Amino acid sequence: MAWLSIRGVEKQYDGNPVLKNLSFSLDRGVQLGIAGATGSSKTTLLRIIAGLLQADGGSVWLDGKRIEGPDEKLIPGHPSIGFLSQHFELRNNYRVIEELEVASVLTKEKEEKLYSLCQISHLLSRKTTSLSGGERQRIALARVLLKSPSLLLLDEPFSNLDPDHKRTMKQVLKKISHEFGITTILVSHDGADLLSWADSLLLMHEGQIIQEGSPQMLYQNPINEYVAGLLGNYTRIDKNDPPTLVGFFENNYNLQNFPLFIRPERLVFDNATSRHLEVKVGNSYFMGNYFLVEVEVGEKVILVQTNQLFYKPGDTAFVRYL
């Protein structure tokens, strides 16, 4: 039996279903990312798993025991589950250590280790009102972890962070998982944010699971255009696109299950050969450590990623597929 099991969970608001017979399971120690567009009911699912929201149907099981909802117990929640909302609050004008001490069930040694992993040891004497957004979030995370949960649920933890604080948060979560053995479920509207963090991904749309699997599998083999767009840039190739383009994939690479969703980094510029595709170079975009280039085959625009740009708009070039 799986450590965490979600079985046929359903939820309605005003007669409108927002979660539709949703089921999946999770083994202990796995870091699961759940992604979906705004309105996919990701937060609703997370709150049901946490025991903070009553499901209208189905059940949630943790370590062989059913998680009760707020209609079934006096104080909502589960002692083994930590939930960090994207709308977390810290008490104003308290020192950080005062905010944290009241939540702790850990030894002093483990507290100090947790503060170090969360990169907040240097903030303990600061007032909560003097912290940046990223610092406040890591302190709120530590406050949840001081209660020693075995399952951690995070609702959009990257949504209000700049790139530097986002990287820091990902590093913190990786270290916490390794050092404390905590299983984590993290939801985000931006699936690309989860690729480097998650062991497994579950993608949702309108209250249903659309596709699940490893980040690598979902990124390279999206089941539809919605999934492709959640995880990064792509070009959609249809059977009725220019014959030269369709034939390039069909004849040279035996890709015949149209539509195809081609990632830009799978196409590279190369010398002219009979197996390579002739294109007309269009606009290019500097992305930091690479260029994203629009190229044309007839009236079809496709995306190519390259580390160095040797072409200007209007040039003829050739690409191959990796």
> Would you list the DSSP string of 82-142?
EEE-TT----TT-BHHHHHHTT--S-HHHHHHHHHHTT-GGGTTSBGGG--HHHHHHHHHH
The mean pLDDT of 245-253, rounded to a whole number, is 92
Residue located via tokens 């406040």: 136
Mean pLDDT rounded to a whole number for the chain = 94
pLDDT at position 213:
97
At 199 the pLDDT is 96
Q: Which residues contact 11 (CB under 8 A, 6 or more apart)?
A: 17, 18, 19, 41, 44, 48, 53, 55, 56, 57, 207
> What pLDDT shows up at residue 179?
87
Assess whether the previous peptide bond of 259 is cis (omega < 30° from 0).
yes
Q: Bridge partners of 151?
A: 81, 183
Is the separation of the CB atoms in 146 and 113 below 8 Å? no
pLDDT for residue 124: 94
| pLDDT tens-place string over residues 190-225 | 999 999 999 999 999 999 999 999 999 999 999 999
What DSSP string runs through 137-199? HHHHHHHHHTT--SEEEEESTTTT--HHHHHHHHHHHHHHHHHH--EEEEEES-GGGGTTT-S
What mean pLDDT is predicted for residues 81-88? Answer: 92
What confidence score (pLDDT) does residue 1 get?
75
Q: How many residues does the chain have?
A: 322
Domain 4-229: which CATH class?
alpha beta
Q: What helix, strand, coil percent values describe the chain, rounded to 5?
A: 30, 30, 40
pLDDT digit string (tens) for 139-194?
999 999 999 999 999 999 988 788 888 888 888 998 998 888 899 999 999 999 99
Mean pLDDT confidence for 32-61 = 96
Question: In 64-88, which positions are buried (b, 16+ CB within 10 angstroms) versus exposed (e)?
Answer: eeebebeeeeeebebeebbbbbeeb
When pLDDT is cut at 50, 70 and 90, the band that residue 228 belongs to is very high
Q: Which residues contact 65 (CB under 8 A, 6 or more apart)?
A: none
Q: According to the model, what pLDDT value does residue 236 have?
A: 97
Is the pLDDT at 78 greater than 90? The verdict is yes
pLDDT at 165: 84
pLDDT band at 101 (very low <50, low <70, confident <90, very high): confident
Residue 301, pLDDT > 80, answer: yes
Q: In Å, how far from its chain's centre is CA 288? A: 22
Q: Number of C-alpha atoms within 13 angstroms, CB side, residue 70?
A: 8
> Could you check whether 4-229 and 235-321 share the same CATH topology?
no
Domain boundaries, the chain: 4-229, 235-321
Q: How far apart are CA 6 and CA 78, in angstroms?
A: 15
Contact (Cβ atoms closer than 8 angstroms) between residue 243 and residue 299: no
The CA angle 236-241-247, to the nearest 5 degrees, is 100
- Residue 156, token pair as written in the block: 């959009």
Q: What pTM value is reported for the model?
A: 0.92
Residue 274 has pLDDT above 90, yes or no: no
pLDDT-based confidence at residue 230 (cuts at 50, 70, 90): very high
Question: What average pLDDT does this structure show over 48-76?
Answer: 96
Ramachandran quadrant class, 259 (left: phi over 0; alpha: psi -120 to 50; beta: rest): beta
Is residue 280 within 8 A of residue 314, CB to CB? The reply is yes
Which tokens hold the place of 268? 């590279």
Question: Average pLDDT in the 50-69 region?
Answer: 97
Nearest to 214 by CA among 196, 232, 241: 196
Q: Is the pLDDT of residue 102 over 90?
A: no
Sort strands 260-262 and 291-297 into parallel, antiparallel or unpaired. Answer: unpaired
87 pLDDT more than 90? no
Q: Let me know: does 217 contact 62? Beta carbons within 8 Å.
A: no
CATH of domain 235-321: 2.40.50.140
